[in-house]
Amino acid sequence: MPEPKRRKLLLLWLSAAVLVIAGASVLWWDSQQEVTFYDGSYESLDEGTEIYFGPGPAEIMGSVLALLGIGVAGVALGSFFRQLTRFKTWFLLTGLLLAAAGLATLLWDYNQVRTFGWFAYEPMSKSELMTAGATPILGKLGLAAGIFLTATYWGLRSILPFSRSAINS
């Protein structure tokens, strides 16, 4: 492989690592922040009270950075494995379907109404309410895999073209 193309590929992998680490750091920082649901009242929440459990700005920024890193890694991998070009349409179709399914799953999960309240006892001041399930995890995995496969398609479409002699040797 010629030296300038090797440098470009190394730069892509380094960029992918930096973006994924930055996104993971922002997501970790966001998960360490305190969230308060208790407002000082011992009254139950009113009937029909809704609380939004969707992503905050830091979670969105961390996810975008991590997904950009995954996309750059897909482009680098696609550029490296140019011999798979006959399957590039399958990479694109599968990636788009997975990304759409993951995004739809996340949107569906974030739009679900979650209500809670206390009755017959005083709220515990040091307890945490965690509403976790498999749906957001599956949605994020589907979105990440879809972006990776779609970015691999872009890498296969000769973002970093290699010469024929480098492929055959």
Banded pLDDT at 144 (limits 50, 70, 90): very high
- On whether residue 41 sits in a domain, the answer given is no
- On whether residue 37 sits in a domain, the answer given is no
- On whether residue 45 sits in a domain, the answer given is no
- On whether residue 48 sits in a domain, the answer given is no
Structural domain count, the chain: 1
- On whether residue 40 sits in a domain, the answer given is no
Q: b vs e for 133-169, b when ≥16 Cβ sit within 10 Å of the residue's Cβ?
A: eeebeebbebbbbbbbbbbbbbbbbeebebeeeeeee
- On whether residue 38 sits in a domain, the answer given is no
On the question of pLDDT at 97 being above 60, the answer is yes
On the question of pLDDT at 159 being above 60, the answer is no
- On whether residue 46 sits in a domain, the answer given is no
Expressed as residue numbers, the domain containing 21 is: 3-31+54-168
